[in-house]
Amino acid sequence: MLIFLYSCVFITISLVFKRVQGGGSMLLNVCRTIALCSVYVFMRACLPRLFNISREVQVDQRIYRSMLLIALSSTAGYMMSDAIPDPWWANRVLHLVGGGFTGALLCFLAAYESMPHMGALRFIATTALVVTALGVANEITEFILGHLTNSVHAFDRYDTEWDLISNSIGLCASMLIFAPFLRKK
């Protein structure tokens, strides 16, 4: 479901922007950020139900603050990537920060706000699955967009593998940062 949501939002907005503005990598990054914020809202609504905790979904100020944090984290990944002259290393940093870290951040914010007493092991397992699913969804979406728009999103034939490895490294680093902040029962 997360792969479908991410891909639909990313592809739809990307194609609309491509037709209206003429495309560009910045617009694709905006589309990725909007898709990540959509996944955060979905996770915040569904996490309590996934773990059989019946809680009412409340829209409060935390949703807007969290989406701003996700957008800022995603933008930091894009800016750090743009500052690196070597395109291969820039892409690694983009996936490490914009993929692994930002994906883990959205999981942390959704869990922290909707399930205040989620255990560390449950959080790590859920976050690993979600970040992996988002990484795969991103690679599938890049493949589909490449065929729909005749654009190239890969440096070489190993780009997809390196992107997923970079996401995983970002995920592992973010686990060390976020797991201690989870509240215990």
Residue 42 CA, chain-centre distance (Å), reads 12
pLDDT at 12: 63
Work out the pLDDT band at 19, boundaries 50, 70, 90: very low
**pTM of the shown model:** 0.82
* pLDDT tens, position by position, 83-135: 889 888 988 998 999 889 999 999 999 888 887 677 788 888 889 999 999 99
What pLDDT, on the 0 to 100 scale, is given for residue 93?
92
- Res 23: pLDDT: 44
Mean pLDDT score, 136-144: 84
Q: Which two tokens stand for residue 164?
A: 């997923």
- The pLDDT score that the predictor gives to residue 181 is 80
Residues 173 and 152: their CA atoms lie apart, in Å, by 29
In whole angstroms, give the CA distance from residue 100 to residue 93: 10
Query: What backbone torsions phi and psi does residue 154 show, to the nearest 5 degrees?
Result: -125, 140
Report the alpha-carbon distance of residue 55 to residue 101 in Å, rounded: 27
> pLDDT: is 36 or 14 the higher one?
36
Q: What is the pLDDT of residue 172?
A: 93
Quote the pLDDT of residue 47: 80
Band of the pLDDT at 70, cuts 50, 70, 90? very high
**Number of structural domains, the chain?**
1
Greater pLDDT, 162 or 17: 162
Nearest to 36 by CA among 114, 98, 86: 98
